[in-house]
Structure formats: C-alpha cells, structure tokens
Amino acid sequence: MKAVSRCLLAVAALALAAGGADAQDGGMKKWTKGKGWGWVWGPHDEVGNLNEMTDASRLAALKLVTQGKAYDLGLAYDRYSYKWPGHSPGEVMSFRSPAGVRSQKDLSFATPEGGNTGHTAWHSNAIFMNDNVATQIDGLGHITHGPNNEFYNGFRADEWGGDFGLRKADVTTIPPVVARGVLVDVAGFKNMEALPASYEITVADIEGALRAQNVDVTPGSVVLLRTGTARYWGENGRDHAKLAQHDSAGLGLTAAKWLVEEKGALIIGSDTSGLEYVPPKPADSQAVGGSFNPVHVYLLVQQGVHILEFNNLEQLAADRAYEFAYILTTNAIRGTVAGTALRPLALR
C-alpha cells in the first residue's frame, strides 16, 4: 500500500507540473476560472494569491530542473540606470573607506594606538535608492486607487501609510516564490528585436507565442513576457534614450485578465519598467474606473496578483528556455513597497 501511495503522489505532482487535465486548476484553492482571485483570503490578508503556493507546488516546480542550469534574471543597477520617471534617483556613497578610517581616527579600535598596528580597515556604503528600480517585484501596497486611496484588500493609505513606509502589505509580506515559470517571447514571435513604443501585447500575441514555443500557461505559473527592451540595458541601463524607445510596450488589460481569469497566472512580469503598455486606451482606463495604469490597478489592487518588472529575459530567449523553475526572494526591509534591484533565478 505504501508503494502504491508513493506512486499516486508522484503522478499527482507530475500532473500539477504539466498542468494536465487531472489538475485543471493546478491545485489552486481560491482561484475561479472566469473570475480569478480578488479579496478572497480574509479581511486581514496581505499576501494575495501567493497564498496559493504550497510545499507540493514548490516541489512540482523544482522537478522541472533537470539540467542544473541557472539563469540570473537580475539587471545591474547604479546611479546612471534608467528608471520610470515617477521614482527617485539612487546613489551609493562611501560611508567608510580605508583612507577615511585612518584619517578620521574616530573609532579607537581601528587606530594604531588602540592596537590596530596592522592597519586593518574596511569599505562600507550608505545607499540611497528607490524601492522600485531595476529588477523588482511590486508589492500589493504599491498602487492605490480611488478617492480613498485604497490598495489591496481595502486597506487605505491614510490608515496604513505614513512617513516611514507602509504598515500593511509591505515587501516583507511577500513569501519566497518558488513556482513554475513560463517565458512568453512576444518579441521573438513577432520577429522583432524589441516591440515598438506603446505596443499592446494582446491575447492573440500570447497564444501565438505559446503555440510556437509548444508550452502553455497553467494555473500557478509565473508568466514572463519578453518585449526585448532589456536587450538594451547593457552594464547599467545608461542608454536612457534607447530604452525609452521600447519601454512603453507591454501588456494590455484584456490580456492581463485572460492570464489571470482564464489561465490562473500566479505572477505576471516582463522586461520593462512598468509591465503594461502606455498610454492606455480610454476603454482600458475606464474599465477600472479611470487610471493611467489600469493593468496595475487590476492586478495589484483588485486581484492581489504581484507584478514583476525589468526581469532580464535575454538569455532565456536565446536558449529557447520557455519552461523553468522560477525562484525569487526580496529585500527584507520593512515598510518598502517593492523588492528592488533583485536577482531572481530561472533554473532548468
């Protein structure tokens, strides 16, 4: 009996990973086909649909790793890097350097008189930066909407915001992400180096790319849409003009709804600074009550689905690595609204 039980468990795990007919909902507890998620986890929830991850789903994702190959999806960031105009610049400042340690002599243990005759010193830096730059994951408190400045689950900025960061749905509420990842190479499917400015990624684009890649989005998958924008990042995203030519391409609201409500996407991301195409069509804007960022409002506020931005998808596309285990953890800085300058991994 034990051998039979182990066999059944193995078959179930493989069906989950493959999105087979016997696991149509991918083990999702709160997801409803045609509706998605929403505020379904209780009035105090700050996690959203990442509640759906389980030990079994993580194990199924890790079973996709057969080669041991790791892809670094992070983009290097510094003071020159391209960013969305609504976020502050960044700077790295030397707080301690060997020269400063020796000249200041304000720490007795670091002086020769204090016993440091070998002149041991160190480097450390003070970092000033935005919590939404480079490779990032948007937390559920990032976007507010409406006259009461509500974010996910009805939390309000006047109650849970403040001068020292968020106190609900900040980045520390994002659990470690281990899930099946799917690359949708829209630029490759369209035979373009990168999608043009303000290009709207449609359902037809995604379905066409998935067919060409012989892969599908199953419930609980992390979906990464490649526009080709990150190919111009270089060492640090310094060519702002070139990046800006393509950064406004992205996901449309209809396609975002399709990915969430029909396919059960766990997280949706891209290789741009904002995921969605801009400026939105009036119909998309009005569909969420009027917004310059309707996809953000729909995903973060209404559905509780996190957003990934500026993931480096170039090597995945070059290797035609369309299915993988996606692994992401965030900076554990309380009050911040996004995990920033991250290095997610795709494992095959």
* Burial class of 148 by CB neighbour count within 10 A (0 to 12, 13 to 18, 19+): exposed
Residue 7 in this model has a pLDDT that exceeds 80: no
Q: Checking DSSP bridges between strand 91-96 and strand 124-128, what pairing results, if any?
A: antiparallel
CA-CA distance, 51 to 169, in Å (whole number)? 13
Over residues 305-320, mean pLDDT = 98
Same domain, residue pair 172 and 97: no
Residue 21 in this model has a pLDDT that exceeds 80: no
Residue 133 in this model has a pLDDT that exceeds 80: yes
Same domain, residue pair 248 and 209: yes
Does some domain include residue 2? no
Same domain, residue pair 106 and 136: no
Does some domain include residue 4? no
Residue 207 in this model has a pLDDT that exceeds 50: yes
Instruction: Collect all residues with Cβ–Cβ distance below 8 Å to 310 and sequence separation of at least 6.
Output: 75, 134, 135, 136, 230, 233, 271, 272, 273
Does some domain include residue 225? yes
- Could you report the per-residue pLDDT of 94-113, keeping only the tens digit for each? 999 999 999 989 999 999 99
Same domain, residue pair 210 and 305: yes
Instruction: Give residue 342's Cα distance to chain centre.
Output: 9
Same domain, residue pair 192 and 95: no
- Could you report the per-residue pLDDT of 37-95, keeping only the tens digit for each? 999 999 999 999 999 999 999 999 999 999 999 999 999 999 999 998 888 888 989 99
- pLDDT confidence band for 8 (50 / 70 / 90): very low
Give, as one character, the DSSP assignment of residue 297: I
Residue 4 in this model has a pLDDT that exceeds 70: no
CA-CA distance, 209 to 251, in Å (whole number)? 14
The pLDDT value given to residue 155: 97
Same domain, residue pair 123 and 138: no
Same domain, residue pair 46 and 100: no
Same domain, residue pair 230 and 136: yes
pTM of the model as a whole:
0.90
Same domain, residue pair 108 and 225: no
Does some domain include residue 268? yes
Residue 9 in this model has a pLDDT that exceeds 60: no
Tokens of 109: 């243990």
Does some domain include residue 36? yes
Same domain, residue pair 52 and 171: yes
Which residue range is the domain that position 315 belongs to?
24-82+130-347
- Could you report the per-residue pLDDT of 244-289, keeping only the tens digit for each? 999 999 999 999 999 999 999 999 999 999 999 999 999 999 999 9
**Range of lowest pLDDT (7-11, 90-94, 95-99, 185-189):** 7-11
Does some domain include residue 3? no
Tokens of 301: 């506020």
Residue 13 in this model has a pLDDT that exceeds 50: no
Return the axis-axis angle of helices 55-62 and 2-18, rounded to nearest 10°: 70
Over residues 121-129, mean pLDDT = 92
CA-CA distance, 25 to 58, in Å (whole number)? 16
Same domain, residue pair 96 and 207: no
- pLDDT confidence band for 24 (50 / 70 / 90): low
Are the C-beta atoms of 203 and 226 separated by less than 8 Å?
no
Q: Based on the structure, what is the number of domains in the chain?
A: 2
**Range of lowest pLDDT (8-12, 66-70, 228-232, 274-278):** 8-12
CATH code, 171: 3.50.30.50
Are the C-beta atoms of 140 and 160 separated by less than 8 Å?
no
Does some domain include residue 17? no
Same domain, residue pair 96 and 215: no
